[in-house]
């Protein structure tokens, strides 16, 4: 399945999550990458500490695996307060949120992952809490209905989402700081990998070897760390723990992860568009049916990276393989693809 891939940006199981946890930065000063955001946050945190207030509510959006939860942890750590985590789908009723809000101490951080999946009933509870640190609970119904106001402590809400477009505008407008997380550069990933190699007691990793892992990590620290662990296992069994460029090559080729971090599902997706649909344009549903995969899964977990590296284009008439994508597969397309894309592309978000 597409969601259980080695290069999946989401955690693939509890082991993955636990190890990921142990490798995450413990403080905002240890955080690598997302420089603009870190600077904005450091100022916001310091200013709020001067005023003895909570930091403004923060909305983080962007692809999975880029450290939204980690950021919430280091923000709470810097504020010297506690982090409480929950997620949109876990909050089914308004009262679920009441419990979470009344447990907060002053300036604590409440992290809501997948905030775009918050049910409407819960969303309405959150507005007065965000604005006035107040919860309006409705008691009884019909002619006996009355609203009781409960105060909660001043807190910071951090909302995380991979789908900023699905957030209602009243909710979105209540966040004081909104930031899009970007993919990490190869250099940033290499630094993260060096740090992780130290934490995992990997003593014999060549700089160049970490560089190759960084290039295959799809701009995502979680993937970089997972690939590093696969390489570490391989080195343990095959190369007496020595990690050179060829160790990384052999280990990741064995896993089916190529030089740009594409795996067999990415290549199958691109190959189907190239060979069965002559490079496109083709509808997502048609590709999904040919692959026997769910269209939503392809859209969420396969397409984002292919769009990001310019191998795939979403046009009004359907998905198209680009010249770069065709070159990577080693196929030639009969049509002048890129002109077509230039005039018909749509914003993929
Ligand atoms: N481990 C995973 N993500 C990291 C980051 N952004 N900085 C430092 N270490 C990390």
Give pTM, 2 decimals.
Answer: 0.89
Say how far apart CA 199 and CA 26 lie, in whole Å.
Answer: 12
Mutate to test the pocket of ligand 1, among 18, 68, 195 (most ligand atoms within 8 A of CB): 195
Question: 197 phi and psi, to 5 degrees?
Answer: -60, -40
pLDDT per position in the chain (349 positions), as tens? Answer: 555 789 888 887 887 777 778 899 999 999 999 999 999 999 999 999 999 999 999 999 998 899 999 999 999 999 999 999 999 999 998 888 888 899 999 999 999 999 999 999 899 889 999 999 999 888 888 888 898 999 999 999 999 999 888 999 999 999 999 999 999 999 999 999 999 999 999 988 899 999 999 999 999 999 999 999 999 999 999 999 999 999 999 999 999 999 999 999 999 999 999 999 999 999 999 999 999 999 988 998 899 999 999 999 999 999 999 999 999 999 998 765 555 555 555 554 4
Pick the atom of ligand 1 nearest to 23's CA.
Answer: 1
Q: Whose alpha carbon is nearest atom 1 of ligand 1? A: 24
Annotated active-site residue 323? The verdict is no
**Closest protein CA for atom 6 of ligand 1:** 32
Active site residue 153: no
Its CATH architecture, for the domain 186-254, is Orthogonal Bundle (1.10)
186 C-alpha to ligand 1 centroid (Å):
13
Q: Where are the domains of the chain?
A: 34-180, 186-254, 264-343
Among protein residues, the one whose CA lies closest to atom 10 of ligand 1: 24
- Fold adopted by 264-343: Arc Repressor Mutant, subunit A (1.10.10)
CB of 221 sitting under 6 A from ligand 1? yes
CA of 140 to the centre of ligand 1 (A): 49
Q: Is the CB of 57 under 6 A from ligand 1?
A: no
Please work out whether the CB of residue 191 comes within 6 Å of at least one atom of ligand 1: no
The per-residue pLDDT for 349 is: 44
Fold of 34-180: Rossmann fold (3.40.50)
Assess whether 113 carries a catalytic annotation.
yes
Q: Could you identify the atom of ligand 1 that is nearest to the CA of residue 70?
A: 3
> Looking at residue 346, what is its pLDDT?
56
219 lines ligand 1 (CB under 6 A): no
147 is catalytic: no
Residue 69 is a catalytic residue: yes
């Amino acid at each position: 399945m597409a969601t259980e891939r080695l290069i999946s940006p989401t955690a693939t199981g509890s082991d993955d999550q636990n190890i990921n946890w142990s490798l995450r930065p413990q403080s905002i000063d240890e955080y690598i990458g997302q420089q603009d955001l870190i600077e904005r946050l450091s100022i916001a945190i310091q200013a709020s500490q001067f005023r003895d207030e909570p930091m403004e509510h923060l909305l983080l959006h962007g692809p999975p695996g880029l450290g939204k939860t980690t950021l919430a942890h280091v923000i709470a750590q810097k504020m010297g307060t506690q982090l409480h985590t929950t997620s949109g789908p876990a909050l089914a009723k308004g009262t679920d949120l009441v419990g979470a809000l009344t447990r907060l101490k002053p300036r604590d951080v409440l992290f809501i992952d997948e905030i775009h999946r918050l049910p409407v009933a819960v969303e309405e509870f959150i507005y007065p809490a965000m604005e006035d640190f107040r919860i309006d609970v409705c008691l009884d119904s019909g002619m006996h209905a009355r609203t009781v106001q409960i105060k909660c402590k001043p807190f910071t809400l951090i909302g995380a989402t991979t789908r900023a477009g699905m957030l209602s505008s009243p909710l979105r407008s209540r966040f004081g700081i909104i930031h899009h997380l970007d993919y990490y550069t190869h250099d940033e990933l290499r630094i993260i990998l060096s740090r992780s190699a130290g934490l995992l007691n990997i003593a014999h990793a060549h700089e160049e070897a970490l560089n190759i892992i960084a290039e295959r990590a799809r701009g995502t620290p979680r993937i970089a760390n997972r690939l590093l662990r696969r390489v570490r296992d391989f080195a343990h069994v095959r190369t007496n723990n020595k990690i050179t460029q060829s160790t990384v090559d052999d280990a990741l080729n064995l896993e089916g992860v190529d030089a740009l971090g594409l795996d067999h599902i990415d290549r199958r997706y691109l190959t189907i568009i190239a060979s069965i649909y002559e490079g496109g344009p083709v509808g997502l549903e048609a590709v999904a049916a040919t692959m026997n995969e769910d269209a939503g899964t392809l859209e969420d977990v396969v397409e984002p990276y292919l769009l990001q590296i310019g191998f795939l284009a979403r046009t009004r008439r359907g998905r198209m393989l680009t010249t770069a994508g065709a070159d990577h597969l080693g196929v030639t397309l009969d049509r002048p693809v890129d002109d077509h894309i230039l005039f018909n592309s749509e914003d993929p978000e």
